[in-house]
A and B are shown apart, each in its own frame.
Chain A
Amino acid sequence: MLFSSITFLYYFLIAVLVLYFIVPKKFRNIVLLVSSLFFYYWGEKNYTIIMILMSISGYVHGLLINKFKGTKKAKIALVSSIIVGIGTLGIFKYTDFFISNVNSLLHTDIGLLKLALPIGISFYTFQIISYTIDLYRGKAEVQRNLIDFMTYVTLFPQLIAGPIVRYVDVEKELKDRSCTFEKFAYGVNRFAIGLAKKVLVANVLGEFCKIAKTTSSNSVVFIWAYAIAYALHIYFDFSGYSDMAIGLGRMFGFHFPENFNYPYIAKSITDFWRRWHISLSTWFRDYVYIPLGGNRVPKWKWIRNIFIVWGLTGFWHGAGWTFIAWGLFFAVLLMIEKLFLLDKLEKIPAWIGRVYTLFLVLLSWILFDATTITEAFSRITAMFGGSGLPLITSETLYYLKSYAVVFIIGIIGATPLLKSLVLKIKEKNIGRQIINLLEPIVQVVFILVVTAYLIDGSFNPFLYFRF
């Protein structure tokens, strides 16, 4: 089920909210668990059982790690939990990639499994692994209640596209959490903003990208516009989803971690990755990079660690060479920055750093969105006039004019300008009163307009569903 659907907004969510708040507190996790399973079954009926089995596996492994705490058996249980998680993810997500590569390398003809990727498996697998590792490290308490554990894994607000909520983030709230008007209103606010970001900006820019990629009247300006549109599209799509997830979580009393912090104002690639998909980059930092030794190792090992982590980050996004190349592209950039460039970037005017970062990030998204590395290179070459395309065509001009306002909204929305303005106004009492008056009005307008777009629109799945 999509958050940006009438079924979710007007049937599922309202039913769950009503049920959640009328049942006694002790049954609230059961309500969340059952509704989350229903939510998942609605869109992924064949693989609901996989998610349930993965949750049970995480739960049992947790009990074993706790039981054998301090012994070798605990380590065996941990390794087993990781193998089960990564193994399942590997089977569904990467088997066909490996088979096709073996086939092309060895000229064999091994049949592909052609398994559909269970929605959200990359996210809930990482959540389960974070639990068993943190438990093994003594950072988390064992969860003995299967309902509570499954509620954590399957919690519908963050189930299918993150943020990757670690068990320790919600450990206490799984047992005891409060729901107040303040939290609920905050949740509504974040949810409405996320919904508007997804439906009114991301989807519209997605249309632009589709047009730009399929036009028969291409131009250099059109490809640049496509690159910018895609960068905004993926940001508004994914951060919109995270906003909705965080908002929904807050309505039910959970505090999920932030996943984005205005990444397009980053002054370096290092800074960018501190602001983009934070829950994923910190996951890799804490569970892969640091266990490998991080940067407290000889330089060659440190370089190796960076390449492993970013190769894996790329591979996590998709079973394809473009994704691996995308990850390694960042590995190279981060290494260069850490070796010498970062110091220099900190000394030069901020705008130069921002332009440098944006330019490289734009190139990275072209690679990310391409089906092959050759296609990405061909687009990048065309951006710099290397494909003999005209600078601009009348069609390019038409679409630029048609989407200009959405581009402007997207660009402004990707910066903290609006947020800073609101905070500034709120500093004064009268300003605070005005914002408080406007907030519910804006939310109602957002919901009505989004509803209008959903009713008139077509199916627009979230980009991160496929990861």
Chain B
Amino acid sequence: MSDKVKNVVVSVLFVGLILCLLLFSVLKKPSEVSKSERRKLAQFPAISYETLENGEFMESFDKYSLDQFVGRDWFRQLKANVLFYIFRQKDNNNIYLADGQVSKYYNQISKDSVVDAGKKFNKLYNQYLKEMNVYYSIIPDKNYFLAAKNGYPSVDYKEFENYLTSTVNSNMKYISLFDSLQESDYYATDIHWRQEKISKVVEKLGNEMGFSVNNNYTLHELSPFYGVYYGQSALPIESEKLYYLTNEAIENARVYELNEKTLTMEESQIYDENDFENIDPYDVFLKGPRPLFVIKNENATTDKELILFRDSFGSSLAPLLVESYRKITIVDLRYIGSPLLKDYVEFNDGQDVLIIYCTDILNDSSLLKVF
């Protein structure tokens, strides 16, 4: 190619490429949501004298131009591929692949946060849980199994446990679950554990809390399941199947949920396959982020009642406890403040209480609304 031809080609290609991508971006129907990133996408901002004057339009337009760019997911995949396979970087915004799993590492324990979580547990105890059988647990994130082994930055989980256990009131009993899990108990593309793989966890809890379960479940599958790290990694990873378990106790249980608008308890359900289409398909378990559920099982193997303080991991754990408890009250302190609990939760002496949170929440315990 001669210099002259090359100059024309370069010029035309540059303008053509930019123009084409611009036109396709502008002319395509704006997307409302990015499923892979699990978030709403910015829309074309309103133009007014005010938004131009205060700079809001410019700021919003910059976000719009990024969010509505044509082939956004393809470009995100291109970046991830260049980063992993050409620049040979070992993580993309802390997301890494190891042993067929995708995970997001962190290398610092927020001691203040973990200690604060312990103080919040104590406060909860002093407010509501005296005279009850209170247990608490930490659910290890999957980096516990993956990171250090594969050479990724990791935290000292023993130290993590110590920060919490040395803060929490000794009237509450700690149940360690670190030995009851392994990396294959977690979804490869997601942060969460697999409900069908946590029988050891349930067994350990049962041994400590005095209940037993019959592991006779029917397995249901939903697919394709793309976990939260699937979108964040932006790599062409294969989808998974999401499984949930049922048995007679689960099927016959009556479920009530706090309606956040009317503040009344309304009938609900343990699993809702429609929620598999939500931004987070893990919402299949107890409808995702909700403040309060009550599950009643009149045919439970015991007369015991349980109050479960939990995060989304607890959503898939709770159904497995249904056969053992006549009543389970499930509280997510991220969505309901502790002062409100007295209005919606029956606290009775002798009840079992399990406070169980994953390391991610404990490392950012400001999310827990305990006042």
**Given contacts A394-B151, A406-B87, A455-B79, is CB(A188)–CB(B3) below 8 Å?**
no
**Given contacts A185-B7, A405-B89, is CB(A10)–CB(B65) below 8 Å?**
yes
Q: Which residues of A contact B80 (CB under 8 A)?
A: 456
B69 touches A184 (CB 8 A): no
Closest CB of chain B to A460's CB: distance in Å?
Answer: 13
Tell me whether A45 is interfacial, beta carbon within 8 Å: yes
Closest CB of chain A to B127's CB: distance in Å?
Answer: 35
Tell me whether B255 is interfacial, beta carbon within 8 Å: no
Interface string of B56-82 (1 = CB under 8 A from A): 001001100110010010011011101
Complex CA distance for A439 and B17, rounded to whole angstroms: 15
Max count, chain B CB within 10 A of own CB: residue among A42, A185, A403, A444: A185
Tell me whether B8 is interfacial, beta carbon within 8 Å: yes
Closest CB of chain B to A237's CB: distance in Å?
Answer: 17
A182 touches B7 (CB 8 A): yes
In the complex, identify which listed stretch (A307-315, A334-342, A446-454) lies at the interface while the others stay far away: A446-454
Q: Which residues of A contact B4 (CB under 8 A)?
A: 181-182
Chain B residue with Cβ nearest A448: B78
Tell me whether B27 is interfacial, beta carbon within 8 Å: no
Max count, chain B CB within 10 A of own CB: residue among A9, A10, A42: A10
Complex CA distance for A176 and B101, rounded to whole angstroms: 61
Closest CB of chain A to B60's CB: distance in Å?
Answer: 11
**Given contacts A7-B65, A45-B55, A456-B234, is CB(A451)–CB(B21) below 8 Å?**
yes
Q: Which residues of A contact B123 (CB under 8 A)?
A: none
**Given contacts A10-B25, A13-B18, is CB(A439)–CB(B6) below 8 Å?**
yes
Chain A residue with Cβ nearest B234: A456
Complex CA distance for A447 and B17, rounded to whole angstroms: 9
Complex CA distance for A10 and B72, rounded to whole angstroms: 14
Q: Which residues of A contact B18 (CB under 8 A)?
A: 9-10, 13-14, 447
Closest CB of chain A to B255's CB: distance in Å?
Answer: 40
Interface string of A331-366 (1 = CB under 8 A from B): 000000000000000000000000000000000000
A171-221 with Cβ < 8 A to chain B? 180-182, 184-186, 188-189, 192, 204, 215-217
Complex CA distance for A189 and B7, rounded to whole angstroms: 10
Q: Which residues of B contact A7 (CB under 8 A)?
A: 61-62, 65
B14 touches A452 (CB 8 A): no
Complex CA distance for A363 and B61, rounded to whole angstroms: 41
4 smallest beta-carbon distances between A and B, as pairs: A185-B7, A436-B6, A452-B79, A185-B10
Closest CB of chain B to A278's CB: distance in Å?
Answer: 27
Chain B residue with Cβ nearest A10: B22
The 16 sampled A-B contact pairs (Cβ below 8 Å) are A7-B61, A7-B62, A11-B22, A182-B3, A185-B7, A185-B8, A189-B10, A402-B91, A406-B89, A436-B3, A440-B9, A447-B17, A448-B75, A452-B78, A454-B66, A455-B66
Q: Which residues of A contact B10 (CB under 8 A)?
A: 184-185, 188-189, 439-440, 443
B15 touches A216 (CB 8 A): no
Closest CB of chain B to A319's CB: distance in Å?
Answer: 25
Q: Which residues of B contact A456 (CB under 8 A)?
A: 75-76, 79-80, 234
Contact of B88 among A215, A395, A404 (CB under 8 A): A404
Q: Which residues of B contact A455 (CB under 8 A)?
A: 66, 69, 72, 75-76, 79
Complex CA distance for A447 and B3, rounded to whole angstroms: 21
A398 touches B151 (CB 8 A): yes
Task: Give the total of A residues in contact with B, Cβ under 8 Å.
Answer: 54
B65 touches A398 (CB 8 A): no
Tell me whether A112 is interfacial, beta carbon within 8 Å: no
B1-47 with Cβ < 8 A to chain A? 1-11, 13-15, 17-19, 21-22, 25
A436 touches B2 (CB 8 A): yes
Complex CA distance for A180 and B10, rounded to whole angstroms: 12
**Given contacts A10-B65, A204-B87, is CB(A449)–CB(B151) below 8 Å?**
no
B11 touches A398 (CB 8 A): no
**Given contacts A7-B61, A216-B108, A395-B107, is CB(A440)–CB(B6) below 8 Å?**
yes
Tell me whether B343 is interfacial, beta carbon within 8 Å: no
**Given contacts A181-B11, A447-B17, is CB(A398)–CB(B88) below 8 Å?**
no
Tell me whether A43 is interfacial, beta carbon within 8 Å: yes
B55 touches A188 (CB 8 A): no
**Given contacts A14-B19, A452-B78, is CB(A402)–CB(B89) below 8 Å?**
yes
Q: Which residues of B contact A448 (CB under 8 A)?
A: 75, 78
Tell me whether A6 is interfacial, beta carbon within 8 Å: yes
A188 touches B14 (CB 8 A): yes
**Given contacts A398-B151, A451-B21, A452-B79, is CB(A440)–CB(B66) below 8 Å?**
no
Q: Which residues of A contact B178 (CB under 8 A)?
A: none
Tell me whether A17 is interfacial, beta carbon within 8 Å: yes
Tell me whether B210 is interfacial, beta carbon within 8 Å: no
Closest CB of chain B to A396's CB: distance in Å?
Answer: 10
B13 touches A444 (CB 8 A): yes
Tell me whether A437 is interfacial, beta carbon within 8 Å: yes
Q: Which residues of B contact A192 (CB under 8 A)?
A: 14
Q: Which residues of B contact A108 (CB under 8 A)?
A: none
Chain A residue with Cβ nearest B152: A398
Contact of A395 among B14, B86, B153 (CB under 8 A): B153
Tell me whether A433 is interfacial, beta carbon within 8 Å: yes
Tell me whether B254 is interfacial, beta carbon within 8 Å: no
Chain B residue with Cβ nearest A433: B1
Closest CB of chain B to A23's CB: distance in Å?
Answer: 16
Chain A residue with Cβ nearest B105: A398
A5 touches B108 (CB 8 A): no
Q: Which residues of A contact B3 (CB under 8 A)?
A: 182, 432, 436
A184 touches B11 (CB 8 A): yes
Q: Which residues of B contact A25 (CB under 8 A)?
A: none
Chain A residue with Cβ nearest B82: A449
Complex CA distance for A188 and B75, rounded to whole angstroms: 22
Tell me whether B90 is interfacial, beta carbon within 8 Å: yes
**Given contacts A181-B8, A406-B89, is CB(A17)–CB(B79) below 8 Å?**
no
Q: Which residues of B contact A433 (CB under 8 A)?
A: 1-2
Q: Which residues of B contact A398 (CB under 8 A)?
A: 90, 151-153
Tell me whether B238 is interfacial, beta carbon within 8 Å: no
Complex CA distance for A378 and B82, rounded to whole angstroms: 37
